[in-house]
Amino acid sequence: MTYTSDEPSRAEVDATRGPLLLEFGDNFCGFCRAAQPAIARALEEHPGVRHLKIADGRGRPLGRSFGVKLWPTLVFLQDGRELERLVRPVDHHPVAKALRALAGPAA
């Protein structure tokens, strides 16, 4: 899965029901490529979490609305509300922990 420039509006993100992981980055970013195995491994255990990989950069409104400064930045949302944020994860454990919190006690 690659980062897409087709991003939802902030209003759409805020209105999203359920768990959502926004991953901001760029297809040419070395940090982003290095983080992919950790993110993918953690997501395997949480198939119910919607995951959007958003191409970020200058003038990209969604990333600016979340104050993204470094890639990749993972924003974990539940019902449109940010619960946690990770920047440049290198290990799957922090990602898995955030996904567990996002998914709630039933996960």
CA distance 55 to 103: 25
Share of the chain above pLDDT 90, in %: 91
Predicted confidence (pLDDT) per residue in 45-94, tens digit: 999 999 999 999 999 999 999 999 999 999 999 999 999 999 999 999 99
How much is the pLDDT for 107?
Answer: 44
Q: Rounded to two decimals, what is the model's pTM? A: 0.94
pLDDT band for position 105 (cuts 50, 70, 90): low
CA distance 97 to 100: 5
Sheet holding 19-25, edge to edge: 50-55, 19-25, 73-78, 81-87
Q: For domain 21-82, say whether CATH 3.40.30.10 is its number.
A: yes
**Which phi and psi angles does 26 have, rounded to 5°?**
-150, 145
